[in-house]
Every structure is written in C-alpha cells, then in structure tokens.
Amino acid sequence: MTTSKASSEAEAPAPEEGPGLRLPRAVLLCATVWVMFHLLAAAGHVGSHTLRSVHVGGAILLTLAAFPLQGRWRLLDFGLAAATIAAVGYLVVEGDRIVMANWFTYPGPERILATLVFVALLESIRRTLGHAFVILICVFIAYAIWGSYIPGPLGHRGLSVDRLLFSFYLGTQGVTASLIGISASVVALFLIFGEFLKAGGAGRTFVNFALRLGGRMRGGAGLVAVIGSSFMGMISGSAVANVASTGVLTIPLMKRLGFSRGLSGAIEAVASTGGQFMPPIMGPGAFLMAELLGISYLQVAQAALIPSTLFFIGLLLAVYLLAGRQGLQPVPEDLIPSRRITYAPWALILLVLPIGILVGMVIAGYTVQYAVLWALGAMLLLMAAGAALSERDGPVRARAGRFGRTMKNGFESSAWNIAYIAIIVAAAQMIVAVINLTGLGATLSQIIVTIGQESLILSLMLTMIAAIVLGMGMPTPAAYAVAAAVLAPPLSRLGLETLPTHLFIYYFACLAAITPPVAAAIFAACAISGGRVMPTAGQALRLALPLFLVPFLFVNDPVLLMDADMPAVILATTTGAAGVCALTAASMGFLRAPIHPLLRIGLGCGALLMLTPNWMSDVAGVLVSAAVLGLHLRRASRGAGAGEETSAA
C-alpha cells in the first residue's frame, strides 16, 4: 500500500491551535490520560458517578492550566487545583454512599468541598466563556436565594445556600447530573472521533471535494465554502470550530476571487452554523437531545436530514444568485485539485470507512458509545497502517515520528475540546438546576401555554426569540440544554410532538451563532476575513433569512421529519424546497437579472404559500410563483435583447 507525496500533503491539515497545545509536557500527559479514561469508561470499566466526577474535575484542572493567572495570583490556581482534586477525590471514593443516600443536610467538610469546587468551576467558566456567563449564573443564583422577595408569578419561596450547594455537589442537579453524564459518556467520544478524523486529513479532503463539486460554477469560491463547511460540520459540531478549521482555507480564497470581506465571512459563518444541524454526525447538542428524549441518536439524525438539506439548498442558491448579481467568477482551474488528489484511495478510506462503521453500527442497533469506539479503533489502525506502509514518505523513523506527532496532537486537541464542552455543559447545568429547583420552568411554561391558547404561531415566535437570546451568549450545547428545559414543556402541552419541538429549539440555538449582537461564528469569521462584525452579521442574516422559516415548517408538519409514508415525505420535501428556493430568490432580488420590487413581493408571497403545510396553499403557491417568475424572465429576456440591439447598433 502506497500513498503519493502530493496526496499526503493535500490530506494533512495543520492542527487547530488552542490553549491545550501550549501546556507543559506533564500537564499534556495528564490530559492524554484523562482522554483515555473516557475511552475506558465507554468500554464499561468505569461507573457513571465516577466518570461524571472525573469528567468535570479534569475539565476544571485543564482550564486552570490553559488560562493561568500571572504573578502572585498564580498561587490561587494551585489552591483551586488542590481543592478540585480533593473534592473530586471525595466524590469518587464515597461514590456508592453518595448515590445511595437521600438527605438534604451534610457535615462541614462536605460543605467546604462543595463551596471550593463551586468557586473553581465558576472561575473556569470565567476563563473559558467570559465574565458575561458568570454574571448570568450569578443572576440565577441570586434569583434562587431571594426569590421570595420577587412579586408576581415569577416569585418563589427561596432556596437556602446549603440546599443549593448540596444540589450542586452531592445531589442530582450538579456536577453529576444527567447533562454532565451525556457530555462525559457520549459527547466526549465524538469529540475524540472528530479530532482524529481531522488529524487524518478530513478537513483538506472535504475542501478538495467541495472544490471539485462547486469550484467551476459561478461564485465557486462561495459554493466551496458552503459545501466544505457542511461536510466539516458533520464532525466538528461547533460553528466556531468549523469557521476556524475550514475558514482559514475558504475565506482567503473567496477574498482572492472578488468576494468582499463581509460577504466572505458571512458565507463561512452561516455554512458553519448549518453544519451543526447536518447528519450523520451533527453537533454535541444532537447527542444531548437523543439522551434527554430517551431515543436513539439515529432517530434524531433521520429527523434532521430533510430540514438540513433545505437549509443548504437555500444557502447554496443564495450564494449562487449573489455571485451572479455581483459578477463573481468561478475558481481558477489551477486551484482545483486533480481527481488523483481529491479521490486518492487512501484519503477516501481514512474518511469513509470510520464514518461508515459508526453509522452502520448505530443503524444495526449498537449503542452510540460502542459504535464510536469501534470507528475510532478502525481509524487509528488505518492511520498506523498508512504510516507504516507508505513507502514514499521517507524512512521508517521519519514516518513513525510523524505518526507519533499526529497521535499526540489528536489526544491534546481532544483533551482541550472535551474540557471546553464539559465547562459549557456544567455552566448550563447550573442554570438548569436553578430553573428546576425554583419552579421557574413551570412558571414560564404556563405563560407560554396561556399565550399559545390564543395563538400557536405567537408561542412559536416567542420560543424562537427566547432560544436565540439564550444562544447569544452561549455555545450551542449550553443554549439548547437551557432552552429545552424552559421552552420544550409548554410547546408539548400545546399539542406539539416532542421531537419536532426539541429540533425547533435546537435549530434556533444553532442560528444564534450568527444573530447579533453576540454572534460567535461572525466574530470568528471576521478574525479571519478582516471584516467588520455588524456588516458581516447583516450579510449573514440576509443569506439566512429564508432559513429562519424552515423550523416553522417541520414543527407544524412532522412529515418533513420523515414521520409519514414516503409519497407524503417526497411531496412535502419538494414543495418545501421549491418554497425555500423561491423565497431565497425573492430575498436576493436576482435571477438572471435584478427582480422588480413588486415581483419580489409576489414571489415571496408565492413562496410562503408553498411553505404552508396544506395542499391547497401548495397549489396556489406554485401558480403564483410560476406566474411571477414567468413575468420576470420575460422582462429579463426583453432587457437582454434590448442590450444586444444597442450593442449591435
């Protein structure tokens, strides 16, 4: 088995830089062991309570090491680290007693440990997510303690500090809660899997595919960004990470071929955001959803297939139409990789076989953890075989050294990503705990149900706004976890099915990454493009405007979630795609030529009719859209003919 030097260069992207890659060797060794501990737990050799405790404790320690204080304040890091080790050690040693106990008072030493690990986690959240998130948590804690002073329906009898600390440390609402368990047992494994896929060259392979598929079309650089980011989003699960990994390749290419800074950043940000919704792997929030609903991850991925397809159909068309309006050209032929490089057998095997094993085992009914372990094991064996048998990549010692560095970078990047997600989920769990303990969720549910009895669409719009607002300051997994705790129950009480409701919330939690004023994916894209944040966000919202309607389609019509017979699914998908395309053309204002404003309004109305789940409205929408498009194309042909006559004269 051999691989060419050219193909190997095309397959191996540089590892993403992060705090975990700049730590002392001793810390990195401990981080690697911590990652392996998660793999050992997935094999069934570690108890759930121990896994959750070590998961959170390791994340705190790695965060303290990755973002150290300076000068004398460094002593505080050592103190917090020691406190974390003591607190987690106590949870591990006394795990059986804690799990079996049922009490709401606890002795002084446990109270001290609870306080110390609570402070350590808050400090880790501050260093990882910023002051705003800590302030938000403190507001919720203040609400929990002094709720008795709040008048009206939002008031409650108040919780003692002891009760909060007990729930956080020893109870079922804190560091060993179900959300932490999902992060430790499922999400962590997929993060490891995704990092080793990237280490094996998946990022470059995806971009090569995208260049071959869309590079020769008008505005090809933008289409490449959309296609590449949709592929990469399947394994990264984070809009910001997706922008950072594919954006460094696609944004400079778009700028080079005439895309403005704002537009190039907006395309990459929107595409990376949609990648979190793209099966078969999706993002960490999808695994949270499967565990929270008690269903298989395959059901979630199947339900998300058509909505995510509609998302990317609308985005691809928007980029194509904008390219036509601005006269943007295809990617030059010399920048498009050859078939030999793009479809190099070894690159395809490294990409397709592990993902095929993962999806196949999930379909066959194996647990997600078991499937990931087998897929990861197969991928590591393939990477080792490739390093051993590649005769053209230098002597054996050099190949072994490169393979060793790849493994090292994979484990180190995995450690940092697991720690980052663990801190995010722990922060979300603290807010969810307050919502559950104070009854705030039930109160807000009642408010939404009361509004929904008058207007379901108004309740859905309020839910959309709430999910986006929650997501503005949070990564998607945390935003979804908090929003699901508050917003899902009232929608279910209004008669909506559980899975469409949670997908609706998750979709808008994803879109929060491109919604101002706090749009994390936009900031990440601007850091690469050099554009300004607000203009880039405006371009992103314009591109994504039709996509904001997709969740309203499937929450009202579960047929789009493949919850019906195949003819009905095909019909709903066809009319949905036609409606998204028509609405995209109306919002872009261009189709072969600029669309007259009145015709844009008519086309938008026809699109909305097609997007309404009713066969009569579908027929009306098709007729209206066809009539409007016919008038527009006739006007465009006349304009082109007049231009040719003028040129001839």
Amino acid at 50: T
- DSSP 8-state code for residue 649: -
Q: Closest by alpha carbon to 194, among 372, 349, 62? A: 372
Q: What is the pLDDT of residues 179-194, one digit of tens each?
A: 788 888 887 888 888 8
Across residues 360-375, what is the average pLDDT? 83
Q: What is the pLDDT of residues 600-610, one digit of tens each?
A: 999 999 998 88
How far CA 183 is from CA of 193, 270, 377, 445, 481, in Å, comes to 14, 25, 21, 26, 11
Q: What is the pTM of this model?
A: 0.76
Query: What is the residue-averaged pLDDT of the chain?
Result: 82
d(CA 64, CA 77): 6
d(CA 16, CA 266): 21
Q: Closest by alpha carbon to 231, among 264, 207, 250? A: 207
Kindly indicate the confidence band of residue 390, based on its pLDDT and cuts at 50, 70 and 90.
low
Return the pLDDT at 80: 94
In this structure, the number of other CB atoms found within 10 A of the CB of residue 197 comes to 26
d(CA 65, CA 310): 43
Packing angle of the helix pair 396-438, 108-129 (nearest 10 deg): 120
pLDDT at residue 63 above 90?
A: yes
Amino acid at 356: G
d(CA 12, CA 26): 27
Residue in this structure with the two tokens 């050690």, named with its chain if needed = 89
Across residues 252-263, what is the average pLDDT? 88
d(CA 468, CA 449): 19
Q: Is 512 helix (H, G, I), strand (E, B) or coil?
A: helix
Return the pLDDT at 253: 85
- Polymer length of the chain: 649
Query: Which of 136-145, 363-372, 636-645 has the lowest average pLDDT?
Result: 636-645
pLDDT at residue 52 above 90?
A: yes
Return the pLDDT at 448: 77
Out of 189-198, 243-252, 357-366, 618-627, give the one with best mean pLDDT.
618-627
Return the pLDDT at 246: 78
pLDDT at residue 290 above 70?
A: yes
Q: Is 243 helix (H, G, I), strand (E, B) or coil?
A: helix
d(CA 168, CA 573): 45
pLDDT at residue 99 above 50?
A: yes
526 compared with 104, residue with greater pLDDT: 526
Alpha carbon 383 to its chain centroid, in Å, reads 27
pLDDT at residue 88 above 90?
A: yes
Q: Is 296 helix (H, G, I), strand (E, B) or coil?
A: coil
596: left (phi over 0), alpha (psi -120 to 50) or beta: beta
Kindly indicate the confidence band of residue 5, based on its pLDDT and cuts at 50, 70 and 90.
very low
d(CA 300, CA 281): 10
Return the pLDDT at 15: 33
Return the pLDDT at 103: 54
d(CA 593, CA 631): 12
d(CA 321, CA 584): 9
DSSP line for 84-136: HHHHHHHHHHTHHHHHH---S---HHHHHHHHHHHHHHHHHHHHHH-HHHHHH
425 compared with 241, residue with greater pLDDT: 425
Return the pLDDT at 20: 41
How far CA 537 is from CA of 130, 517, 600, in Å, comes to 21, 9, 23
pLDDT at residue 232 above 80?
A: no
Across residues 210-235, what is the average pLDDT? 82
pLDDT at residue 60 above 90?
A: yes
Residues 269/250, Cβ–Cβ less than 8 Å = no
Residues 231/209, Cβ–Cβ less than 8 Å = yes
543 compared with 4, residue with greater pLDDT: 543
Angle at 410 between CA 404 and CA 412, to 5 degrees: 100
Return the pLDDT at 53: 93
Alpha carbon 603 to its chain centroid, in Å, reads 32
- The structure tokens listed for 559 are 């047929």
Return the pLDDT at 342: 83
pLDDT at residue 19 above 50?
A: no
Tell me which long-range contacts 14-19 makes (C-beta under 8 A, separation of at least 24).
15/198, 15/199, 15/409, 15/413, 16/198, 16/241, 16/244, 16/245, 16/413, 18/413, 18/416, 18/417, 19/66, 19/67, 19/416
Across residues 122-132, what is the average pLDDT? 88
- The structure tokens listed for 253 are 């290419």
Return the pLDDT at 644: 46
What does residue 435 show for φ and ψ, rounded to 5 degrees? -60, -40
pLDDT at residue 9 above 70?
A: no
Query: Which of 195-209, 233-247, 554-568 has the lowest average pLDDT?
Result: 233-247
Across residues 105-122, what is the average pLDDT? 84
Residue in this structure with the two tokens 């910001």, named with its chain if needed = 240
In this structure, the number of other CB atoms found within 10 A of the CB of residue 417 comes to 26
d(CA 328, CA 321): 10
423 compared with 649, residue with greater pLDDT: 423
d(CA 8, CA 526): 30
Kindly indicate the confidence band of residue 158, based on its pLDDT and cuts at 50, 70 and 90.
confident
Q: What is the pLDDT of residues 436-449, one digit of tens each?
A: 888 887 787 777 77
Q: Closest by alpha carbon to 51, among 63, 66, 35? A: 35
Q: What is the pLDDT of residues 467-519, one digit of tens each?
A: 887 776 566 777 788 888 888 888 888 888 899 999 999 999 888 888 876 67
Q: Is 614 helix (H, G, I), strand (E, B) or coil?
A: coil
pLDDT at residue 643 above 70?
A: no
Return the pLDDT at 504: 93
Q: Is 594 helix (H, G, I), strand (E, B) or coil?
A: strand
